[in-house]
């Protein structure tokens, strides 16, 4: 019995170099970009819902990771770290259940953590920028100031902004990611 070479869409591309494979699929990248932009615009239109969906999804994922950690802890009883894994897993499961059961309150907590994290990151970047004495000094300081101001804006609006910040940032990220894919696809097409 002899093997026949595969036919169809994938078989046509297998013999091409990677760059040519990308160019041959430019329309798929364009489609991905359009879908991402549309999803981002929808998230921006319904930021509260996008926030709640994000928080519930995060809660489910965190709970699953916690369960896996607990199972690994029980399976690794001979190891010294097993009890720590089990305790850590319990915390993950509890946090996941909280996010799933109380997504509004969880979004408020996550918004505060996000804002505080951005503020702290901005301060660290700005300080690091002032300590640099090369070409990276300006961009690092600018990045720190912008990130810090975003964090300060989120923290100063907390808790009132807890139900829309995550959805707003998700929407903005999806729109910019989509635009990036669209430009990538059009560039591939122009070089085809």
| Average pLDDT, integer, range 133-146 | 87
Residues in the chain: 192
Quick check: is 17 in a domain? no
Tens digits of per-residue pLDDT, 174-188? Answer: 999 999 999 999 998
Q: Which residues contact 20 (CB under 8 A, 6 or more apart)?
A: none
Most confident of 3-7, 41-45, 77-81: 41-45
Number of domains composing the chain = 1
Residue 74's pLDDT is: 84
Confidence band for 6, pLDDT divided at 50, 70 and 90: very low
Tell me the whole-structure pTM to 2 decimals: 0.71
User: Shortest CA distance to 111 belongs to which of 58, 65, 64?
Assistant: 58
| Average pLDDT, integer, range 142-153 | 92
Q: For residue 48, give the 3-state DSSP assignment.
A: helix
Domain of 32?
26-187
Quick check: is 20 in a domain? no
Tens digits of per-residue pLDDT, 17-66? Answer: 667 778 888 999 999 999 999 999 999 999 999 999 999 999 999 999 99
Quick check: is 5 in a domain? no
């Amino acid at each position: 019995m002899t093997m026949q070479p595969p036919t169809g869409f994938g078989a046509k591309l297998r013999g091409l170099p990677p760059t040519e494979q990308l160019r041959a699929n430019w329309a798929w990248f364009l489609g991905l970009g359009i879908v991402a932009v549309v999803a981002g615009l929808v998230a921006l239109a319904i930021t509260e819902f996008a926030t709640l969906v994000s928080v519930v999804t995060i809660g489910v994922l965190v709970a699953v990771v916690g369960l896996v950690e607990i199972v690994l802890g029980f399976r690794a009883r001979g190891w010294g770290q097993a009890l720590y894994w089990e305790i850590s897993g319990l915390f993950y499961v509890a946090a996941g259940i909280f996010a799933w059961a109380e997504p509004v309150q969880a979004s408020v907590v996550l918004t505060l953590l996000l804002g505080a994290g951005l503020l702290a990151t901005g301060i660290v970047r700005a300080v690091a920028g002032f300590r640099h004495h090369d070409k990276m000094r300006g961009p690092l300081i600018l990045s720190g100031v912008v990130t810090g101001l975003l964090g300060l804006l989120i923290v100063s609006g907390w808790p009132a902004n807890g139900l829309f910040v995550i959805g707003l940032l998700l929407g903005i990220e999806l729109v910019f990611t989509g635009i990036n894919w669209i430009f990538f696809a059009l560039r591939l097409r122009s070089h085809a």
